[in-house]
Amino acid sequence: MKKVFDYEKFKVIGHEKKHKKIKLGDGTIGYIHKSRVVNLNDKICECIKKGKKIVDANKDYDPIMGWGDGTTDEPSLSFRLEQIFLYGLCPKGCQFLQSNEDFIININSEIERCK
């Protein structure tokens, strides 16, 4: 038996009553309760909306550190959202967007898609 971890990606290949038939990245096929399945595109939009609320309230601004890039000039929305997700200011449930390497989504295109 294999466990599917929170935020683990998989492909839904079927369904049966209250379960989804899934295929993991390593090729493993199994079932998971439908309550544990989230559409990634919908979740990204939800996280962007939550991140925008942080931006609108200026909760991402540090009076000592500025905007995180060492300046006091207000940066773009996409930069601010990227910083929120990158540095763990993520709203609950959006930790999958936190990354220390290349950003996993294109913020600008996701902002447009989620409008």
Q: For the residues of 50-75, what is the DSSP string, one character each?
A: HHHHHHHTTTT-BTTTBTTTS--S--
Please determine, for residue 40, whether its predicted confidence score (pLDDT) is greater than 80: yes
Statement: the pTM of the whole predicted model exceeds 0.75: no
- pLDDT of 23 strictly over 60: yes
Q: Sorting pLDDT into bands at 50, 70 and 90, what band is 16? A: very high
pLDDT in tens, 91-105: 788 887 876 555 667
Higher pLDDT, 87 or 57: 57
Res. 49 pLDDT band, cuts 50 70 90: very high
- What is the distance between the alpha carbons of residues 83 and 10, in angstroms, rounded to a whole number? 27
**pLDDT for residue 68:** 61
> How far are the Cα atoms of 4, 5, 30, 32, 86 from residue 1, in angstroms, in the given order?
10, 13, 9, 12, 33
